[in-house]
């Protein structure tokens, strides 16, 4: 089928169709693929025209593509990503900004901008993205769709351009929780969960960080979620340490990104866009002392979160500190909001845990995601919770 891309969600060099198997659990569904993943015979730009110009056309499909096609899904094109997947905004200086159909005039979020926009605008049934520091969860919140950052290493991410490999994961989006779970069953090899977690922890510091307006907007959804758990408690996840956690994430992500990209940056001298250029320059300056300290703090975060979570426990927190920002905001304002968002988003990445954003709330007429996070390997349980009919999606 030919997609009529009214949202600038798909890249021009990636208008390609790959029909899925005639039968399978995803038969009849269409999907978009973030232009970070390789397709045989189709260029990968990773959001950068200089990357596109200096890398050969892939000769093999990324494993997740084969997995989805064999399950019956049909690929209808490659979707936009922020440059090198290193942004949360969805505004690419080289390729433009996909339209957020759920919040017109506002950014779609990134880096999986095109995938989230395509799903939010109804162009595809689901779409594949990637999440390093929030690149599935944040655009899921902004576009009013479901989006999962799975347990680190749970889904094969080979055949993709890396950003920070100890954080990078495959993620996906859908408007429908049942479709979302069907895709998850294929990607995770998931079986029907044998049990439902019985204990919900409400992250009071995360709600405080998001602010009173966001907390108030989530009241109805949070109340509904609480009815699914016999035990509900309040917990402080990181408290006053959240800015330090964010900084540790920033250093580790930057160090890994620089290690992966430095040879290309030095040889190709790419014209990087705003934000990405500054982050790459900063990353090149991190010292071994800074990196070692950040690794030590990551170990502390993992121990802290693992002490809170067991197979019977789920944490609930706001996905983002607000709704999608207006398009064309000043760089300094975007960076300030990004820093605040990362204080909510970095925990799952540092701990390597699954976090699912659900489109259950609205604020000022725009979508606002509520997240649930679970112990390592508990991805299926999160999807089952999201499918519970008690949790009614808010669309207006």
Determine the distance from the C-alpha atom of residue 266 to the mean position of all C-alpha atoms in its chain, rounded to a whole number. 29
* CATH entry, 1-396, from 3.90.1300.10, 3.40.50.300, 3.40.640.10, 2.30.33.40: 3.90.1300.10
Q: What percent of the chain has pLDDT over 90?
A: 96
Q: Which member of 48, 87, 111, 113 is catalytic? A: 111
Q: Where are the domains of the chain?
A: 1-396
pLDDT for residue 395 = 63
Average pLDDT, integer, range 260-280: 97
SS3 166: coil
Question: Is residue 58 pLDDT above 70, yes or no?
Answer: yes
What is the Cβ-side half-sphere exposure of residue 61, based on CA atoms within 13 angstroms? 12
Q: Are strands 231-235 and 74-79 parallel, antiparallel or unpaired?
A: unpaired
Measured CA distances, 145 to 92, 347, 362 (Å)? 21, 21, 12
SS3 357: strand
Q: For 312-339, how does the pLDDT look when each residue is reduced to its tens digit (9 = 90+)?
A: 999 999 999 999 999 999 989 999 999 9
pLDDT for residue 112 = 98
pLDDT for residue 357 = 98
Question: Is residue 354 pLDDT above 80, yes or no?
Answer: yes
Confidence of residue 26 (pLDDT cuts 50, 70, 90): very high
Question: Is residue 392 pLDDT above 90, yes or no?
Answer: no
- Can you spell out the DSSP letters for 64-99? HHHHHHHTT-EEEEEE---GGG--SS--BTTTB---
Instruction: Please name the residues in contact with 12: beta carbons below 8 A apart, sequence gap of 6 or more.
Output: none
Question: Is residue 250 pLDDT above 60, yes or no?
Answer: yes
Average pLDDT, integer, range 77-88: 98
Tokens of 117: 């926009």
Q: Which member of 135, 174, 361, 371 is catalytic? A: 135
Instruction: Please name the residues in contact with 266: beta carbons below 8 A apart, sequence gap of 6 or more.
Output: none
pLDDT for residue 190 = 74
Question: Is residue 194 pLDDT above 80, yes or no?
Answer: no
Q: For 136-176, how does the pLDDT look when each residue is reduced to its tens digit (9 = 90+)?
A: 999 999 999 999 999 999 999 999 999 999 999 999 999 99
Tokens of 348: 């799952």
Average pLDDT, integer, range 9-18: 95
pLDDT for residue 396 = 56
Average pLDDT, integer, range 218-237: 98
**Residue labelled with tokens 């540790």:** 248
Average pLDDT, integer, range 190-199: 82
Active site residue 34: yes
The 3-state DSSP composition of the chain as helix, strand, coil percent (nearest 5) reads 40, 20, 45
Q: For 205-224, how does the pLDDT look when each residue is reduced to its tens digit (9 = 90+)?
A: 999 999 999 999 999 999 99
SS3 308: helix
Strands of the 126-131 sheet, one edge to the other: 74-79, 30-34, 126-131, 169-174, 146-149, 355-363, 366-374, 313-318, 199-203, 231-235
pLDDT for residue 1 = 62
**Residue labelled with tokens 């990636």:** 14
SS3 235: strand
pLDDT for residue 2 = 74
- Closest Cα partner for 85 from 113, 59, 58, 57? 113
pTM of the model: 0.97
- Is the Cα torsion angle 332, 329, 103, 364 positive or negative in sign? positive
Confidence of residue 237 (pLDDT cuts 50, 70, 90): very high
**Residue labelled with tokens 């758990």:** 229
**Widest Cα–Cα separation across the chain:** 58
Average pLDDT, integer, range 259-273: 98
Contact in structure between 372 and 379 (CB atoms under 8 Å): no
Average pLDDT, integer, range 355-363: 98
- Can you spell out the DSSP letters for 233-274? EEE-SSGGGHHHHHHHHHHHHHHHHHHHHHHHHHHH---PPT
Active site residue 135: yes
């Amino acid at each position: 089928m030919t997609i009529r891309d009214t949202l600038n969600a798909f890249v021009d060099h990636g208008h390609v169709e790959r029909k899925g198997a005639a039968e399978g659990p995803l038969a009849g569904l269409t999907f978009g693929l973030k232009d970070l993943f390789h397709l045989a015979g189709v260029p990968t730009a990773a959001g950068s025209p200089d990357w596109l110009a200096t890398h050969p056309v892939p000769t093999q499909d990324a494993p997740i593509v084969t997995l989805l096609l064999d399950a019956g899904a049909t690929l209808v094109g490659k979707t936009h990503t922020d440059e090198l997947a290193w942004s949360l905004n969805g505004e690419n200086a080289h390729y433009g900004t996909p339209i957020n159909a759920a919040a017109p005039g506002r950014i779609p979020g990134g880096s999986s901008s095109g995938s989230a926009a395509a799903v939010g605008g109804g162009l595809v049934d689901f779409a594949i993205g990637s999440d390093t520091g929030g690149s599935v969860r944040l655009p899921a919140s902004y576009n009013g769709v479901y989006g999962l950052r799975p347990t680190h290493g749970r889904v094969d991410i080979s055949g993709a351009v890396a950003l920070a490999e100890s954080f990078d994961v495959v993620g996906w989006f859908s408007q429908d929780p049942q479709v979302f779970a069907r895709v998850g069953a294929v990607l995770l090899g998931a079986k029907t969960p044998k049990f439902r977690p019985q204990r919900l922890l409400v992250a009071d510091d995360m709600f405080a960080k998001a602010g009173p307006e966001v907390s108030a907007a989530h009241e109805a959804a949070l109340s509904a979620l609480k009815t699914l758990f016999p035990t509900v408690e309040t917990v402080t996840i990181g408290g006053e340490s959240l800015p330090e956690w964010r900084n540790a994430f920033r250093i580790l992500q930057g160090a890994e990104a620089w290690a992966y990209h430095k040879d290309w940056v030095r040889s190709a001298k790419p014209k990087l866009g705003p934000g990405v250029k500054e982050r790459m320059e900063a990353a090149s300056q991190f010292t071994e002392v800074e990196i070692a300290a950040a690794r030590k703090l990551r170990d502390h975060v993992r121990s802290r979160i693992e002490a809170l979570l067991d197979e019977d426990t789920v944490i609930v927190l706001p996905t983002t500190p607000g709704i999608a920002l207006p398009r064309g905001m000043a760089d300094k304002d975007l960076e300030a909001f990004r820093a605040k968002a990362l204080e909510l988003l970095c925990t799952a990445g540092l701990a390597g845990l699954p976090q699912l954003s659900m489109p259950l709330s609205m604020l000022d007429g725009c979508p606002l995601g509520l997240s649930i996070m679970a112990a390592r390997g508990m991805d299926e349980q999160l999807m089952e919770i999201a499918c519970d009919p008690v949790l009614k999606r808010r669309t207006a």
